[in-house]
Structure 1
């Protein structure tokens, strides 16, 4: 009986994708097999025919076919080429049998307690990397990050001994990563801690969320900064806290303005988000004294202390916390890359034990292999060299940005004294930076409007945060010129 030959036009490649062509060929063949387009015993297109159809080298198709043979999806037959395997081990999914939705249902509207999709958020266009002047905050610079070093650490983490250990269901916090936090990260901030006082989290934001969840099991009266990081404020309100915001000044949050009866204060004392203001030592001491006198706790978000290229950052609030009232959240993501999503929470052992149990119910633990890869990257000195290179490059970009701004009507309203990766900017009165941001996209410029950082509805609209970690130094002046041109037209 003649075998059915599969037509080459069943398969396709995504030319816009940067993924390897050989990988795409394997995936499109597998998809056709699992969806029953390619049935067992059917002949695949010859490597010559498929390479002509896809416009790739014949060897690329041959290598993809051979790997599919090794995986058991295809098999070879003398003089017949490649056939779809009939092993019985490959599940095949039905095509066209999906249940069609009848229509929009209101069944969930009475179950969901709030529409989170409408919350105020810091956002940027998805295609910001394709634009020439991205003043985007919190993104890595791929020209500085050493991909080969990270890849080598990932290879080491996939060694059998490490893999067996970190792939276990019993794996929690990687002891190598915890040890680095204890021996290198925390001492840089003046903090001493023990292993049972540290919890690895899925970024600093996850650490803050765990704390919010723990604190709001009962009624909670909390204080946040204004302006401040919007996700912290919204997480507290989402969890039912009674939140008061306190306006910051050039020295950060004024402790004397914290209302009586407050139970928890959320602060960014070393580098206020978003203005960059640093809380003075005297004010920190006053905050801790009030915490003891009024019996409240403090949650310190120390998200960017590594970017100190002008002067050393002030010691962490946690470093002078003698009464164990401060929970400290730190992150690797800002210095490495945001998609890493690794951070840590430091506090009294009983609190960390509770946070560990809560984390276990939410996500068990951060991925073990990712923790081990990061631990190797840190322990082998790659992280320290990366920080050195970032500080040098960001110092140049900050200088260039400040110089460019001096030629405009834009006013620098805040900046981290020790360095950082952004400036807080005030546009002339009457400028709405959310409208400005939309208009600037046509000029290839991405900026971050400041409105989401303020609480309430009657908030200033003329502020903007300009990040310089994502824009090359030689594009900063032109980017600022384009912003200034739009402001002048406004």
Structure 2
């Protein structure tokens, strides 16, 4: 007898749940080939569901080839569906076998690096002051669904379903070239653009091509943790550049570097913006001392008191800048689509190394995104997000001054988070634990300092929390601060 647990509270229909459970049971060999499945009436009575639900599930399994119908006998498992499945082997434990020594087999241990960790169920907390997550209510469901549907018509499928080897969707390349990059003051040819699986893949591939033992790499401190971790796998010579209220400090110590990573639009994690004068100073130094620059232009569009500053790449006259952009912060972090712009020779090499990894990002997703930009939906989204985030930024600014005046912050005119310097005697780990018990999520900033000689900081994001929850959340957090102070 078939007994399955069907959950009426799930978003999936009972019919679909039943169909999937029977199909899985067939593939797992749990249903004998020579016995008929229960009649639709009997199974419906056992599961306490409508008979028609069972009938429709059976008919779909019949159409899909899982079942065959025998006259006056009922439904049976179709033996053909199991063709090509390897027989299960009984595995005997060898009492003399030695345990695997992974420590001697692995050449690197990236799992031992310090990484940013966020609760997977962050959306269940009342006050998620997290950076890097986006309020699901801001996602353009209707427009994205339309573009996704249109990318699935017969003509579009014929275009993206074939193997493109190492090529990207030409429509997406054109939309990035003509619609996205000009907003940042960047003008590029198609051969200078490559689609990536988010910013992360772009940073990894560039580092693989340009770093090795003996090459010096410079980046901001505090800075982006994942970039530090990527670089540390390839070279031990990492130069940490201090950050002030104008971003990375530029000095002659960079002259010994081969590659410099910088986040000039909104420095990660402090959110400060590098002024034009300092950007030109960095470019002049790169030309004089022959090094390359990775510009991570995340959150570039999000300024609340002025127009966005043109990208560093827009000032680049000698192709020294490798520009990296992403749609994760404006569309959806889970989409994992980004792009990079660089000299054609570098793009050619990056394209080749990408082919060895995954050939190219899924072309159906590329086409959906291309249609989304082409139809102007991305411009609409940017305006909507800017309005929503500006309101939250204003709420955060006011609430921080009211409830947490003992925390100092850099001048903040953009981005999606606040970088707060905590009082010297605050145990910020204790505060984080106390806050979590009160359904408040905050992030400690120590992981962004790579020399570990810093005072305590907190990074409070506001892109995942609704505006009306910001002040009550910070008010509740403020009540916990005295409980987290160290005794003098």
TM-score with structure 1 setting the length: 0.92
**How big is the alpha-carbon RMSD for the aligned residues of Structure 1 and Structure 2?**
2.2
How far residue 75 of structure 1 moved from its aligned partner, in angstroms, is: 2.7
Structure 1 residue ranges without an equivalent (≥5): 1-6
Is the CA contact 2:446–2:452 (under 8 Å) kept in the aligned structure 1?
A: no
- Report the alpha carbon displacement of residue 79 of structure 1 after superposing the two structures with TM: 4.7
Q: Which residue of 1 aligns with 2:241?
A: 246
Q: What is aligned with 1:142?
A: 136
Distance of 2:256 and 2:293 partners within structure 1: 14
**Other structure's SS at 2:268 match:** coil
Q: For the structure 1 residues 57 and 101, does the alpha-carbon distance in structure 2 shift closer, same or farther, using more than 3 Å as the test? A: farther
Q: 1:339 to 1:363 in 2, by over 3 A?
A: same
Whether the aligned pair in 2 keeps the contact of 1:212 and 1:236 (CA below 8 Å) is yes
1:133 lines up with 2:127 in the alignment: yes
Task: State yes or no: 1:486 paired with 2:456.
Answer: no
Provide, for residues 204-251 of structure 1, a one-character-per-residue CA deviation record: whole Å limited to 9, x for no partner.
111111110000256310101000001101100111251011110000
Residue 151 of structure 1 pairs with residue 161 of structure 2: no
Aligned to 1:3: none
* Cα deviation code 1:462-485 (max 9, x no counterpart): 211111111111111111112111
Aligned residue-pair number: 481
What is the CA–CA distance in structure 1 between the aligned matches of 2:9 and 2:211, rounded to whole Å? Answer: 47
How far apart are the structure 1 equivalents of 2:45 and 2:282? Answer: 71
Give the one of 429, 440, 454 matched to 2:424.
429
CA distance in 2, matches of 1:166, 1:359: 18
CA, structure 1 residues 13+257, in 2 after alignment: closer, same or farther (shift >3 Å)?
A: farther
Q: Is contact 1:309–1:392 with CA below 8 Å preserved after alignment?
A: no
Give the one of 62, 73, 76 matched to 1:83.
76
Provide closer, same or farther for how the CA distance between residues 308 and 42 of structure 1 changes in structure 2, counting only shifts above 3 A. farther
Bigger drift between 144-153 and 403-412 goes to 403-412
Any unmatched runs of 5+ in structure 2? none
Q: Does 1:391 align with 2:386?
A: yes
TM-score (norm 2): 0.93
Question: Distance between the aligned counterparts of 1:57 and 1:139, measured in 2?
Answer: 41
Seen in structure 2, the aligned counterparts of structure 1 residues 335 and 242 have a Cα distance that, compared at 3 Å, is same
CA drift at 1:53:
4.2
Which residue is 1:320 aligned to?
315
Q: How does 1:29-178 map to 2 (within 5 A)?
A: 29-87=22-80, 90-92=83-85, 94=87, 97=90, 105-170=99-164, 172-178=167-173
Q: Cα offset for 1:347?
A: 0.6
| CA–CA separation in structure 2 for the residues paired with 1:257 and 1:488 | 44
After the TM superposition, which of the residue ranges 377-386 and 256-265 deviates more from structure 2?
A: 256-265
Cα distance in 2 for partners of 1:473, 1:75 equals: 56
Tell me if the contact between 2:62 and 2:68 (Cα under 8 Å) persists in the aligned partners: yes
Q: Structure 1 residues 15 and 225 mapped into 2: Cα distance closer, same or farther (>3 Å)?
A: farther
Native 8 Å contact 1:150 1:373 kept in 2: yes
Cα offset, 1:345, TM superposition = 0.8
Work out whether 1:475 is the aligned partner of 2:469.
yes
Checking the alignment, whether the CA contact within 8 Å between 2:65 and 2:81 is kept in structure 1 is no
Among 406, 409, 416, which residue is 1:413 paired with? 409
Report the Cα distance in structure 2 between the residues aligned to 1:13 and 1:256, rounded to whole angstroms.
Answer: 65
Hey, what's the Cα distance between the residues in 2 that align with 1:309 and 1:47? 61
1:21 alignment counterpart: 14
Shift of 1:433: 2.5
The structural deviation recorded for 1:66 is 1.8
CA contact (8 A) 2:213 2:237 kept: no
**CA drift at 1:291:** 0.8
Greater CA deviation, 163-172 or 236-245?
A: 163-172
Secondary structure of the 2:69 match is strand
Contact 2:216-2:235 within 8 A present in 1 as well: no
Choose the corresponding residue for 2:211, options 216, 239, 260.
216
**Out of 399, 402, 409, which is 2:397 matched to?**
402
Partner of 1:229: 224
* Contact 2:27 2:82 (8 Å CA) reproduced: no
Quote the offset at 1:108 in angstroms.
2.1
Indicate conservation of the 8 Å contact 1:274/1:453, yes or no: yes
Cα drift, residue 59 of structure 1: 3.4
Aligned to 2:268: 273
Provide the rounded CA distance (Å) in 1 between the counterparts of 2:454 and 2:481: 20
Q: Hey, what's the Cα distance between the residues in 2 that align with 1:15 and 1:426?
A: 49
